[in-house]
Amino acid sequence: MAMRSNTNLVSSEYWSNLYASCQGPKTSINPILRNWILDHIPPCQGSCFEVGCFPGSFLSVFGELGYELHGIDLAPRVESDLPLWLRDGGYRVGEIRQADFLTFENRRLYDIVCSFGFIEHFTNWKDVLRKSASLVRKNGLLLVETPNYRGLLQLLTHAMLDWEGLLQHNVRAMDPRGWSRVLRGEGFSISHCGYLGGIGFGVSPRRMSVFNRLGLRMLKWIEKWVSPYLTRPCSFYSPFCGLIAKRSS
């Protein structure tokens, strides 16, 4: 996922370098997110548009459900490689564009518009959310997901072990209730709004110092012993936030 904007907390070069060696959609996404999609989205021959779609991991899930796949990203290979990868997977592929989401113009509307780990990289996340909502046709769905660094346990964990990564995220944007307030004003009703998953730590420090390694080892030990008891989604420790909204007008 790469987008260009002067309100973007992450450079497009970062995303390009991250996926430079990618040779296709990842074989799997986090099972919490995969199950969230499959539990709420019915199979359909409609259209799906993903904001920040490279390298196609999430689009592939919607492809499995029968949707025609569309998307936008700034990754250099999004137009040349991603459609081929998706077609090789047996999915129906529509238009995949390399463009800046905040400035591109598209008059088409879609049955599903989605973004995963996207809006939290912007300071003007409400504008990003409204732009996403504008692409949803009547009775269509909008799916939004971000990590939950706003929860106290998650915030402290990332502040101690991945400060550089934390600075690339707008913690204030990780607010499902805030998303729902914006979307109600755009003519949406909320189907699901909250946190996803039991306790879990998705920390990947950029620099693996001795402190980082010891901290990660301790986190894995804690997660192993407490995860059977902390399975209920909670703002304090859940790793993800999610919202599903339906355009009603």
pLDDT at position 137 over 90: yes
User: The whole model's pTM is what?
Assistant: 0.85
pLDDT in tens, 171-226: 899 999 999 999 999 999 999 999 999 887 776 666 667 677 777 777 777 777 77
Taking the CA atoms of residue 126, residue 128, residue 129 and residue 133 in that order, the dihedral angle to the nearest 10 degrees is: 130
- Between CA 85 and CA 73 the distance in angstroms is 15
Quickly tell me which residue has 């592929």 as its tokens. Answer: 93
Give the per-residue pLDDT at 240: 94
Mean pLDDT, the chain, whole residue set: 86
Q: Does domain 12-148+169-196+239-247 have CATH number 3.50.50.60?
A: no
pLDDT at residue 110 in the model: 98
Domain ranges of the chain: 12-148+169-196+239-247
What confidence score (pLDDT) does residue 20 get?
57
238 has pLDDT over 60: yes
